Amino acid sequence: MIVILILLIQIKLIFTKDPAYIRDYFHLISTTEKPLPLRKYYGMHHSSIDFYPGTMNVILSVPHDGDLRSNLPSRPKGACRKLNSSNRKCYYQNPCLSPQFQMDIKHCKISRGRDVNTRLLALALRYEFKALFHFTPYVIINRLERIKVDMNRFIDQGTFYRKDNMHAWMRYHFYLRHARELIVKNKNNYGGKGLLLDLHSHDHHERWVELGYLLPSRQLSRKGYNLKHSSFASYLTSLFEPIDLVSGNKSLGYFITKYNYSATPSPIFPSPPEQSYYEWGYIIEEYGRYGNFSAIMIESPARNMMNLTKLYKYAKSLAFALHEYLIAIEVFEVLATSENLEQSQITKQCNLSRQISAQRNLFLLLFFSVMSFI
């Protein structure tokens, strides 16, 4: 009996283990290129950001898959709320600055969980894009744990106004903005077209790929799309009908469905389930609808990425879908070939420390002014 049990366990292990060629693939995509050497902060042995320069007008952002330890203070499980008050506003203080306020985990919960394998997904997409387009997207990965800093929230919620956490938050956004400027102002990119894809994972039971365009789910279920406040650049809405862009045959959901994954909004699932759909993210709000630059949040089901075999199939399909999508909506532009991409082009305009310290002082000033009114 015991022998049979051991045999069954071994058979299960054989079938659940990722094949060697898939392990080799992820080893290759993680090691074949090195990110730019950036300064290290916060007691870490590695820079808090992996920045891979691109040769096409797409940015992949990965804010929630960090695991590197640092000496930054942690964000609490909840923000503060005024006691016995109907005011539902959350105050991002740690600890709460007045006895009238108390941490409220129920109404002011702070998300601190890590996304599943979105870092590897971004690197796989970069690799696959190179095969499909012959050009690579910018990839910007946050390596800090989300319990320390959340790059996809406003700075108050993302950092609780701790000095070094604010510095880390601003560094990430500095590099996203910097990549966007390099794309928009590139002399080969007529019209400054571009797209940022913000990569996340979720564990909603429908297991659909959820695509966020800053469109509320109620608007999606009515199908009366108003793209004025969406994360699409306005020129796209002049080229295509809103219904085609959001849930028709020019939508990303259409192309993802074509490669055998369910997505929403899409022709098959135009309306997401109202209770479990991520329509908003700070990053798409901040970086989309900027001139001719758009942004989309891609929330992939964690189940698609739980092991390397599933991730491999999903990444390949998503790369094919994105390849067809970028061509169908006429966004793809070449910025530079790998040979003429100069390191100086990436680093010249950074002048990082001066800008960060100026922004930090401004935020601190604002913070103390607001606190003095409470």
Residues that bind Zn ion (CB under 5 A): 64, 115, 200
Q: How far is the CB of 204 from Zn ion (least distance, A)?
A: 13
Question: Which residues, 6 or more positions from 62, have their beta carbon under 8 angstroms from its beta carbon?
Answer: 115, 118, 119, 121, 122, 139, 140, 141, 142, 199
Q: How far is the CB of 198 from Zn ion (least distance, A)?
A: 8
Nearer to Zn ion, 115 or 145 (CB): 115
Question: Which residues, 6 or more positions from 9, have their beta carbon under 8 angstroms from its beta carbon?
Answer: none
Nearer to Zn ion, 256 or 283 (CB): 283
CA distances from 60 to 1, 193, 265 (A): 52, 15, 20
Nearer to Zn ion, 96 or 141 (CB): 141
Q: How far is the CB of 114 from Zn ion (least distance, A)?
A: 8
Nearer to Zn ion, 69 or 112 (CB): 112
Nearest to 51 by CA among 135, 133, 137: 137
DSSP notation for 196-255: EEEEEEE--TT-PEEEESS--HHHHHHT---GGGSSS-HHHHHHS-HHHHHHSTTSHHHH
31-34: which pairs have CB atoms within 8 A and are 24 or more residues apart? Answer: 32/127
Residue nearest to Zn ion (CB): 200
Nearer to Zn ion, 158 or 270 (CB): 158
Q: How many CB atoms neighbour CB 231 within 10 A?
A: 27
Nearer to Zn ion, 167 or 200 (CB): 200
Nearer to Zn ion, 284 or 329 (CB): 284
C-alpha span between 232 and 264 (Å, rounded): 16
3 state SS of 81: strand
What's 189's DSSP letter?
S
Q: How far is the CB of 64 from Zn ion (least distance, A)?
A: 4
Nearer to Zn ion, 178 or 200 (CB): 200
Q: What's the token pair of residue 5? A: 């049990």
Q: How far is the CB of 333 from Zn ion (least distance, A)?
A: 28
* List of E strands, the chain: 49-52, 58-62, 78-82, 101-109, 138-142, 194-202, 209-212, 263-264, 293-301
Q: How far is the CB of 343 from Zn ion (least distance, A)?
A: 31
- What backbone torsions phi and psi does residue 105 show, to the nearest 5 degrees? -75, -25
Q: How far is the CB of 25 from Zn ion (least distance, A)?
A: 24
Q: How far is the CB of 110 from Zn ion (least distance, A)?
A: 13
Instruction: Give Cα 286 distance to the centre of its chain.
Output: 12
Q: In the chain, what are the helix, strand and coil shares in percent, each to the nearest 5? A: 45, 15, 40
Q: How far is the CB of 360 from Zn ion (least distance, A)?
A: 25
Q: What's the token pair of residue 6? A: 């051991």
Nearer to Zn ion, 118 or 266 (CB): 118
Instruction: Give the chain's end-to-end CA distance (angstroms, integer).
Output: 70
